[in-house]
Every structure is written in C-alpha cells, then in structure tokens.
Amino acid sequence: MLGGRRRRREEELAGLDRFRVARRLVDEDVTALGEQLAELDVDTLADDLDEEARHHYGRALEHYDQAKQLLASSTTAEEVLAIEQVVADARWHRAAVIAVRDGEALPARREPCFFDPRHGPSMQDVAWIPPGGTERTVAVCAADARRLAAGEQPLERLVRVGDRWVPWHRSGGSSAVVDARDHATATYGRRVQKAMAEAHLGSVGGSFGDIGGGDMGGGGGGD
C-alpha cells in the first residue's frame, strides 16, 4: 500500500513538473504574441486598413485572447500544449494583416519558422549549413531568410532541455522539451531513492556490526 501511494505521489509530482515546464514555455509564446500584436497596432495606426485586413487583425486578437484564457485555466501539460495551435493561428492572421497591408498575397499555411516559432509562419525554404554540419533545407520566416541571404546568422530561440540550453530546432519541439524535463526529474528521483536506500542499508549494516561486536566481545567494530 505504501509503495502504491509513493508511486501515485511521484506521478502527481511528475505531472505537476511537466505542467510547469509547459506553462512557462507557452507563456513565453503568448507574451511574445501580445507584444507583436501591440507593435502591429502601432504600425497600422496611420494605415487605412481595408475590410480584409481588419478581419485578419480581429481574428488575431481573438486567438490571442483565447490563448490567454486557456493558459489561465489550464491544469495539465496536455492542455497547455494544445494552446500552441491557437497561438499559431493568431500568428498566421497577423502575417495576413501585414501581407494585405503591403499589397502581397496571403501567406501559405506553413509550419512555423525553423529557428523560432515566435517569428510566425515560415515563408520560404532556404539552404542552411549549421556550424560544423552539412547543408540542409529549412523553412524560415522572411526575416531569417534575409539574414541568411546576407551571410548573417538567424535569430535562434534557445530553450532549456533537461540541464542544458539548446537551439529550438534541436529541441524536438515543445512536447520533447516537456518530456525531457520529465525524464530528467524521474532520473533524479531514482538517484535520490537509490542513495537513500544505500544509506539505510549502510546504517542497518552498521547497527548489526555493533551488536555483533558487543556479543562477541568486540570483533571488528573499530573499523
């Protein structure tokens, strides 16, 4: 019974840790989205947006508000991670506002920028050579595409995976970041339990040694 309670408690703690990691990660996304929409509002103050642009701007704000509400009411890592799609929809509508304002075609529904999903949906595929690696084709936002074309480094997002910081594109995504933290916590927990068990056995062994020494007239207790 005690073992079952301990396992349930460990599962509860692991779930809480996953929730905290997921919430911190997605909260960063929602915060960045809010800042980007505020900047967009300032950028478009002097523009007479047409009906299509206003529609996309309104939809972006709706998704942003929904993301905030869902994040505030979430209780599990799975609920938090599901908010990513709402944030992605808001990012797309924001990109659509900019495209309509500038007289360009609406952006395609593509995966987020390879280097940082907060940059918004990717706009094109480009060749990229990571430091010490081989060339590969990645989907990037317009800003990172311009940086790479100019021979500059992209703006990479760094996230904490376990006990180290890695570029977003090497993290495996939000779910992988959360699961990696969960694995690290579980590993640490097992190490603590092992150390406690070894300490307990050592203590018990020492007591037996003392008892045996006393009964036998002081055999090896001095060691």
DSSP string, 95-150: HHHHHHHTT-PPPP--PBPSS-GGG-B--EEEEE--TTS--EEEEE-HHHHHHHHT
Q: Are 99 and 106 in contact (CB under 8 A)?
A: yes
Global confidence as pTM: 0.75
pLDDT at 162: 76
Please state whether beta strands 164-167 and 124-128 pair in parallel, antiparallel, or not at all (unpaired). Answer: unpaired
Backbone dihedral region for residue 162 (phi beyond 0: left; psi -120 to 50: alpha; all else: beta): left
Instruction: Determine the 3-state secondary structure of 158 from DSSP.
Output: strand
pLDDT at 42: 85
pLDDT at 28: 95
Least Cα distance to 138 among 124, 158, 121 occurs for 124
pLDDT at 21: 92
pLDDT at 194: 42
Query: pLDDT in tens for each of the 223 residues of the chain?
Result: 666 777 777 777 778 889 999 999 999 999 999 999 999 988 887 678 899 999 999 999 999 999 999 999 999 999 999 999 999 999 999 999 999 999 999 999 999 999 999 999 999 999 999 888 899 999 999 999 999 999 999 999 999 887 889 999 998 888 888 888 554 444 434 443 444 344 444 444 443 334 334 443 444 444 3
Q: Where are the domains of the chain?
A: 7-107, 110-156, 158-208
